[in-house]
Structure 1
Amino acid sequence: MAAAAAATAAAAASIRERQTVALKRMLNFNVPHIKNSTGEPVWKVLIYDRFGQDIISPLLSVKELRDMGITLHLLLHSDRDPIPDVPAVYFVMPTEENIDRMCQFSLY
């Protein structure tokens, strides 16, 4: 029984590691850690819905997000001003409501 519990724990850790790697890759525009010519990460904004927040929160700390160049992270449906000339990563469910909300900000 102890061996089965250990195997289950190892599998869970492996899945969590895979999720973290996949999430970091997505946040870096699907390429390994990007840095600009000064050696700094490419600064960007992360916009997510509640579903995305539920995935990100247990996997990455705010410090890890900052280290990856996420300077600001916001809920999709929060009130905010547009931030011109800053790349954004959207991590949302593809619902009609979310798409409508994203289109509102593309008009700025």
Structure 2
Amino acid sequence: MGSNRVIGTRLAHLRFEAVLDAARESDNPFDLALVAMLGLLGLRVLEAGQADVEDVGEEHGHRVLLVHGKGGKEVLVPLPPAVGRAANQAVADRMAGPYCSTGDGAGWTGTALSPAPLG
């Protein structure tokens, strides 16, 4: 079994690294934040799409993200440094709004991450 093989619906390590590299090279900082949330935190697409700047906090000295999961379940997930750096770049100086948004500043909503106006 090679390390580049897809298992079920997950990406193998080398394929994920390729996606991560492409996101790093993207002109849109939201790409890296989204890929980091999906691949490094293991979030579902909808969970990552619903993440807002206000959902980041600190617990016991660690940076955490409040994830809004299925069935209204909420859980605090620790943010590894790589995810925190990607999120910081995506957020820049904003104090509110979605972590990941489209190039025109619209937030993402739904499982297809379709653009939705901020408001």
Q: Same fold (TM over 0.5)?
A: no
Which protein has greater RCO, CA pairs closer than 8 Å, 6+ apart? 1
TM-score with structure 1 setting the length:
0.33
Structure 1 or 2, whichever has the larger Rg, is 1
TM-score with structure 2 setting the length:
0.31
Which structure carries more strand by proportion? 2
Which structure carries more helix by proportion? 1
